[in-house]
Structure 1
Amino acid sequence: MRFSTGLAATLALTLAGAAWAQETAPPTAAAPAVVASEWRAVAPENLLVIDTNKGRVLVELTPELAPGHVERIRLLAGRGFYDGVVWHRVIDQFMAQTGDPLGTGEGQSPYPDLKAEFTFRRDAQTPFTPVAAPAGAVLGFLHSVPVQTQPDAYMATTADHKVHAWGLYCPGVAGMARDDAPDSANSQFFLMRQPYPSLDKRYTIWGRVVSGLDVVRSLKASPNPDGIVTGPDQMTRVRVASDLPQAERPSVQVLDTSSARFRALAEASRQARGADFSVCDVELPVQVAGAPAA
């Protein structure tokens, strides 16, 4: 099964303890509309367009976190590998998994397994925006992905002038499924329906849903602890936007995390949540234009 036995146990625990993971939209203070200069356009080569029988999901690929895994997703999408593949394992309050051409959890692509990219090295040029700084760590965003990292001050103490960092499993985050072996990810991936921090640094993160999280949450879920779905939903077409004809490309803009508006949004969320604040509480405004789903 292309998902570790350890995670299978985690899935069962999720069903038993899902109450804490129920998403509640944090209250936010009223704020003026975002101005044009505060939007960041997602590059077409970093936009994965997943059309499903339930609607369209747009995922921003983040090569800074996992260049090898992003390249694999681009390769498989470009070759039509994911077209018609089902969401074979879906657990409510947790995640939706796909990418197995057999639809059983046992299949994969013909390409070699990938080396794990659970963490990455961040330097001063990495486009990271902090939102909180608990003792000995910094929480923030790298593009649309929530990230935890060591403080910038540590850069002066390392040979490469970089620090340790990793993505966080918040709603919409895209992770790579694998077997028990760390370097066994291949073609199967999952999209988070809810936050689940116990996956952090255990499964490679390669992007995040920027539009269509409602579609991910609408996919047919299994009532069983193993999450295997009978009569599953499917992906009808999966392409990187840059591989689509210009007329068929959606255009996505995300609130720039370097903008004053984002800093105000993050601070409002921190103030509203208080001691219960999580970086997962910060929701990025998104604008989508262009062609409808195929």
Structure 2
Amino acid sequence: MRTGAAAILGGLAVLVGVGGAQAQDVGGPPPPAASHAMAAAVTEWRTVPAANLLVIDTNRGRILVEMAPEIAPLHVERIRLLARAGFYDGLSWHRVIDWFMAQTGDPLGTGEGQSPYPDLTAEFTFRRDATMPFTPVAAPAGALVGFFHSLPVQTQPDEAMAMTGDGKVHGWGLYCPGVAGMARDEGNDTANSQFFLMRQAYPALDKRYTVWGTVVSGLEVVRALKSGDGDNGMVTAEPDRMTRVRIAADLPEVGRPVVRILDTGSAAFRAMADQVRAARGADFSVCDISLPVDVSQAQVAAGG
């Protein structure tokens, strides 16, 4: 059964919007340095490419996921393929565990279904070189923890690049609130169409399930989905559903969601991360950092 993982453990806040629009965070509780982010210059905000933005409409509201093809190219391409085919439309959130995650993507709604395409090779880790936009926020012994765009990751230090044949080091996504992972059977290379979105942090999943993106808006929707019964979290009666799932780039330009997120390479982000780390002290986790996000709708088509 493609159960995604064993039972487990999030936080969301809403910040004052930039330019009058509502800005939401990605991750845990609101950072004490939120004012740094909201005062950031326009140039310190990054627009998520429409080709990497997954728009999940549900009966509870909209969820926006920034996909990370640099981290898990095979899995992101599968999500794109299935979204464009309308495969996910109408499917239930069949396994939802409070303080853990919400799982979907099964056409049978039982945890045993999948798409007609072959299973995927696991992408539990990725290779990082010096050109990859990674911003460290902590340096535990022999490692770096930080962000690749909106995704929290852990990686070997840059110094190790000189000792590898390809000039790259290993990295992997961290299962903080909002992180998107791929469900699988017992075998590593058995992910197919089912995926899950984290309602809370659970580091025991790290390097065991492929990470392919991060919820950048709608974590409150993920947490509002109807929870299942018992330890396995299966929703047996009237589950919530995805009504439509599309890649933002495939939607009409006018009215398409546009997501701006604080650039993790910016001075404003570094100031915010420093303040959160100082406030948390020895208890600091990368999951404590919430990235401010501004969501709007395109009003004019490109070139219009």
Q: Calculate the TM-score normalised by the size of structure 1.
A: 0.92
Q: CA deviation at 1:70?
A: 0.3
Name the CA distance, whole Å, in 1 between partners of 2:69 and 2:249.
Answer: 15
Counterpart residue identity of residue 274, structure 1: G
Q: Is the Cα–Cα contact under 8 Å of residues 26 and 269 in structure 1 kept in the other structure?
A: no
User: How many percent identity over aligned positions?
Assistant: 68
Superposed CA RMSD: 1.6
Name the CA distance, whole Å, in 2 between partners of 1:291 and 1:109.
Answer: 32
Q: Per the alignment, in what secondary structure is the counterpart of residue 102 of structure 2? A: strand
Q: 1:7-27 deviations in whole A, cap 9, x for unaligned? A: 3xx31xx3xxx5xx7787265
Counterpart residue identity of residue 3, structure 2: F
Counterpart residue identity of residue 32, structure 2: T
Matching of residues 7-86 of structure 1 within 5 Å:
7=5, 10-11=6-7, 14=8, 25=29, 28-29=32-33, 30-31=35-36, 33-86=39-92
Residues 22/290 of structure 1: CA separation in 2 closer, same or farther (3 Å cut): closer
Q: 1:17-62 deviations in whole A, cap 9, x for unaligned? A: x5xx778726514436121000000000000000000000000000
Question: Is residue 2:177 matched to residue 1:171?
Answer: yes
Structure 2 segments unaligned to the other structure (5+ residues): 13-27, 300-304
Q: CA deviation at 1:245?
A: 1.1
Q: Is the Cα–Cα contact under 8 Å of residues 26 and 272 in structure 1 kept in the other structure?
A: no
Q: Is the Cα–Cα contact under 8 Å of residues 122 and 191 in structure 2 kept in the other structure?
A: yes
Question: Is residue 2:108 matched to residue 1:102?
Answer: yes
Q: Is the Cα–Cα contact under 8 Å of residues 67 and 213 in structure 2 kept in the other structure?
A: yes
Q: Which residue of 2 aligns with 1:238?
A: 245
Name the CA distance, whole Å, in 1 between partners of 2:11 and 2:57.
Answer: 26
Q: Is the Cα–Cα contact under 8 Å of residues 22 and 93 in structure 1 kept in the other structure?
A: no
Q: Which residue of 2 aligns with 1:208?
A: 214
Name the CA distance, whole Å, in 1 between partners of 2:298 and 2:133.
Answer: 29
Which of 132, 140, 147 matches 1:134? Answer: 140
Residues 291/80 of structure 1: CA separation in 2 closer, same or farther (3 Å cut): farther
Name the CA distance, whole Å, in 1 between partners of 2:96 and 2:272.
Answer: 32
Residues 67/285 of structure 1: CA separation in 2 closer, same or farther (3 Å cut): same
Q: Which residue of 2 aligns with 1:254?
A: 261
Q: CA deviation at 1:291?
A: 6.7
Q: Which residue of 2 aligns with 1:274?
A: 281
Q: CA deviation at 1:223?
A: 3.5
Name the CA distance, whole Å, in 2 between partners of 1:264 and 1:174.
Answer: 27
Query: Which structure features the higher share of helix residues?
Result: 1
Name the CA distance, whole Å, in 1 between partners of 2:252 and 2:43.
Answer: 27
Q: CA deviation at 1:249?
A: 1.1
Structure 1 stretch 23-32 or stretch 193-202: which is displaced more?
23-32
Moved over 4 A (4+): 21-24
Q: Per the alignment, in what secondary structure is the counterpart of residue 248 of structure 1? A: coil
Structure 1 segments unaligned to the other structure (5+ residues): none
Q: Calculate the TM-score normalised by the size of structure 2.
A: 0.89
Name the CA distance, whole Å, in 2 between partners of 1:72 and 1:246.
Answer: 23
Q: Is the Cα–Cα contact under 8 Å of residues 254 and 284 in structure 1 kept in the other structure?
A: yes
Q: 1:140-183 deviations in whole A, cap 9, x for unaligned? A: 00010000000000000000000010000000000000000000
Counterpart residue identity of residue 110, structure 2: T
Q: Is the Cα–Cα contact under 8 Å of residues 58 and 242 in structure 2 kept in the other structure?
A: yes
Q: 1:84-121 deviations in whole A, cap 9, x for unaligned? A: 00000000000000000111111000000000000000
Q: CA deviation at 1:209?
A: 0.2
